[in-house]
């Protein structure tokens, strides 16, 4: 089954120095390699800062475009992995290995299979 693992972190709680960021990126590289070696990796990306976001909605037939993220929160969506896991327990194990789980939250969302 496919799962989306969304990585939410509070930038103030994460790595603060360049050296710490380097170690974190190394950890993400190792994690991605583990997903690939175990056949679970389907995709994933890091996202730019929330300040680069644009939000779009339709209200009364009119398009409303806003700068920035949808909600103001401490934790921000920083990236995601799309994985193929045997079941929710396997997805939970994969999510717990994400380096950002140490200072943020990983949301696991099953993919709704269409057709």
- Predicted TM-score of the model (pTM): 0.88
Q: What is the pLDDT of residues 29-64, one digit of tens each?
A: 999 999 999 999 999 999 998 889 898 999 999 999
Q: Which domains does the chain have, with CATH numbers?
A: 2-110 (3.30.70.1060)
Q: Is 71 a residue whose pLDDT tops 80?
A: no
Mean per-residue pLDDT, 94-107: 95
Specify the pLDDT at position 96.
97
Residue environment code for 82-114, b if the CB has 16+ CB neighbours within 10 A, otherwise e: bbbbeeeebbeebbeebbbbeebebebeeeeee
pLDDT at 43: 97
pLDDT at residue 89 tops 80? yes
């Amino acid at each position: 089954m496919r799962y989306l693992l969304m990585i939410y972190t509070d930038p103030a709680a994460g790595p603060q120095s360049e050296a710490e960021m380097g170690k974190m990126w190394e950890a993400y590289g190792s994690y991605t390699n583990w997903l690939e070696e175990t056949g679970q990796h389907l995709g994933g990306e890091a996202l730019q800062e929330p300040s680069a976001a644009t939000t779009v909605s339709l209200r009364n037939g009119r398009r409303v475009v806003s700068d920035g993220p949808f909600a103001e929160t401490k934790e921000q969506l920083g990236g995601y992995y799309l994985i193929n896991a045997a079941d929710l327990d396997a997805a939970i194990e994969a999510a717990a290995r994400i380096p950002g789980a140490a200072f943020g939250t990983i949301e696991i969302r099953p993919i709704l299979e269409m057709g």
